[in-house]
Amino acid sequence: MDETLIPAAPVNVAPQGPTASAWYGLLFLLATEAALFIYLLFSYFLLASQAPGQWPPDGVPEIQRPGANTVILLLSSATAWWSQRSIANGASGKLIVGLSLTLLLGCIFTGVQIWEWTHKSFSPASNAYGSLYFTITALHVAHVVIGLIVLACLIVWAALGRFSAKRHLHVLIGVTYWHFVDAVWIAVFTTFFLTPMLG
């Protein structure tokens, strides 16, 4: 029998943070979600590379509003990070403030996206570019909306006093998911708004 396998000190019950099963579960969920977006962006580049005429068909898209919206989403990642750091120090009031700010910024991002969709000169059925643009951005917004629901649940649970400096695994998971949604947007934004500028 190998005695080193069993530590002498009491081991952690229902571990929190990076040794919790749920944390690993989240990481693999994000891996498969990332793969989904990679395949969709692969589809964009495949169709772009095979396009017979100009790509995008209406020329390089206007970048100012989506660019500003990107800044809003990045800001929301900062507030999410701040709320997680607050609860790690036991400040549950700051946690609620931070989560609420994140929720607000996420709602603004979603509103701007909807405004963008309604002011495009093309529709999902116009051509392959339109199909790609609306499908990929809509799928991203669907992930943002799930993130907003997660944030709302976290705010309710925080208000009910379910989190402490020692036990706040749900906050870690919710905030990490939110960062992931941000990272996906960076990839989507780069694909649709920056790569066409390369000519």
Partner 1 sequence: MTNATQETVGGAEQADLARQWETSPGIRGWFSTVDHKEIGIRYLVTALIFLFIGGVEALVMRAQLAGPNLTLLSPEQYNQLFTMHGVTMVFLYALPMLSGFSNYLWPLLLGSRDMAFPRLNAFSYWVYLASGVFIYSTFWLGQAPNAGWFNYVPLAAREYDPGINIDVYALGLIFLGISTTAGAINFIVSLMRTRAPGMSINRMPILVWGTLTASVANLFAVPALSAACLLLWLDRQFGMHFFDPAGGGQPLLWQHLFWVFGHPWVYALVLPAMGIVSDALPTFCRRPLVGYTAVALATVTTMIVGFGVWVHHMFSTGLPGLSLSFFGAASMIIAIPSAVSVFAWIGTIWAGRPVFKTPFFYFAGFVLLFVIGGVSGFMTAAVPLDWQLTDTYFIVAHLHFVLLGINVFPVIGGLYYWFPKMTGRMPNEALGKLSFWVSFIGFNIAFLPMHLSGLRGMPRRIYTYPDHMGWNMANLLSTIGALIFAAGLLLTLYNLWYSRTRGAPAGPNPWDAATLEWSVPSPPPAYNFRRIPIVASRHPLWEDRLQDVHHRSVLDTDIALEDGRKTIATTVLDAEADAILRMPGDSVAPVMLSVALAIAFFSLLLNIWWLAGLAAVSGILVLAAWLAPVAPPTPAEERIRG
Q: Which residues bind partner 1 (CB under 8 A)?
A: 1-2, 4-7, 10-15, 19, 21, 24-25, 28-29, 31-33, 35-36, 38-40, 42-43, 46-47, 50-52, 57, 124-132, 135, 149, 153, 157, 162-164, 166-167, 169-170
Looking at the Cβ atoms of 162 and 179, the one nearer to partner 1 is 162
Residue 97 sits at φ, ψ, to 5 deg, of -60, -45
Nearer to partner 1, 105 or 172 (CB): 172
Residue with Cβ nearer partner 1 (32 or 64): 32
Rounded to an integer, what distance in angstroms lies between the CA atom of residue 103 and that of residue 144? Answer: 10
Amino acid present at 65 = R
CB of 185 to partner 1, least distance (A): 18
* Helical axes 128-159 vs 169-189, angle rounded to 10°: 160
Distance (Å, whole) CA 36 – CA 33: 5
Nearer to partner 1 by Cβ, of 35 and 71: the residue is 35
- Residues 6 or more apart in contact with residue 179 via CB below 8 angstroms: 77, 80, 81
Element (H, E) at 83: helix 64-88
State the minimum distance, in angstroms, from the CB of residue 73 to partner 1: 22
State which residue, 6 or 197, has the beta carbon closest to partner 1. 6
CB of residue 178 to partner 1, shortest distance in Å:
16
Instruction: Find the shortest distance in angstroms from Cβ 52 to partner 1.
Output: 7
CA distance 175 to 92: 15
Q: Any idea which residue has 């990642």 for tokens?
A: 77
* Residue 67 Cβ vs partner 1, minimum distance, rounded to whole Å: 26
